[in-house]
Amino acid sequence: MHKKGQKFFIVLLLLTTFVVGYTTVFSFLKNEKIVVDKTITIGNYFSFLDSIVLKYNAITPYNLTEHLLVRANPWIIDTLQNTDYYIQKAKGRFVYDQKKMVVLNKGDHLILPDAVLAKKIIESFQKTSIDINIPAFKLRIFEDGIERFEFPIRVGKDEKKYLEMSGRVQDLKTKTGKGKIVAHVRNPRYVNPVTNHEYFVTNRDDKRITKLPQIPFIETEINGLRYGQLIHPTTNPVTLGKAYSNGCIGTREGDAWVIYYYAPIGTKINIRYDLNVKSNNGEAIVLKDIYGYFKN
């Protein structure tokens, strides 16, 4: 190629690169909209989100994740929260198979966050922490030291039992300590750890039987150890406020969705056992010592 031709080609290439780069940057000066092209149920919700993240992560000036995308569209969390069996029951609706419930309708718009909004959400993730006080039966979410949410929970029983799943006798009390969220199980198996039996339906508090819902389980690491101590929903909220589980932290179905989207991998968690607390109006309260740690 002639030298003049080479120079022209190089200049053209640089100009094209600049224009493409400028266009990409300019397109993220404002939030883009993604049109949902089909009806999305809970059963195909995660695969749909994964496809969106895979498609757009290549062009976003930040690392696009499911949590980032959904937090930019908080109405999705509201929709998921309202798929709770008992919320639907209060509205006069019986839900046998939660996986068939519609989350996104064809024609809905999702915001693809610009760099400014993405940075704000990422910073909020870094400032978020989960606090669980066992005898208070409460899980609270803090952001930059400010309480954002408070949810009722159930905790582990005060007993030791042989678990077929682990093959040994285990203390079922919920373990205390500081740690972080290390994994999400988006399509969990429901297994009774005592018998190691997997089940697919559940007997609700109203004595009706339904299929088990698809709601993510959250795995914790406490004091550097993974005890298999999960944060997950219970289909029997009558057990909240009790020492009832095999060590896991149980929540309402709707609350589990909120916790999931405020607890990406790496979120700090503190599980404590404090009897001396204050009420919402500042009154000092001494909680019941459910594990008998201070009976002497």
pLDDT digits 0-9 by tens, 170-225: 999 999 999 999 999 999 999 989 899 999 999 999 999 999 999 999 999 999 99
Burial class of 107 by CB neighbour count within 10 A (0 to 12, 13 to 18, 19+): exposed
Looking at domain 128-286, its CATH architecture is Beta Barrel (2.40)
Residue-wise DSSP of 187-244: S---EETTTTEE-SEEE-TTS-EEEPP---EEEEEETTB----EEEE-S-GGGTTSEE
pLDDT digits 0-9 by tens, 215-235: 999 999 999 999 989 999 999
**Token pair of 176, please?**
């205390």
CA distance 91 to 95: 11
What number is the average pLDDT over the span 277-287? 90
Q: By the 8 A CB rule, do 204 and 182 touch?
A: no
**Sign of the dihedral defined by the CA atoms of residues 243, 229, 48, 110, in that order:** positive
CA distance 75 to 94: 23
**Sign of the dihedral defined by the CA atoms of residues 55, 33, 49, 219, in that order:** positive
Q: By the 8 A CB rule, do 214 and 232 touch?
A: no
Q: What is the pLDDT of residue 21?
A: 42
Residue-wise DSSP of 238-278: GGTTSEEESS-EEE-HHHHHHHHHT--TT-EEEEE---EEE
- Domain coordinates in residue numbering, the chain: 28-121, 128-286
pTM of the model: 0.89
Least confident range from 35-39, 165-169, 213-217: namely: 165-169
CA distance 151 to 129: 14
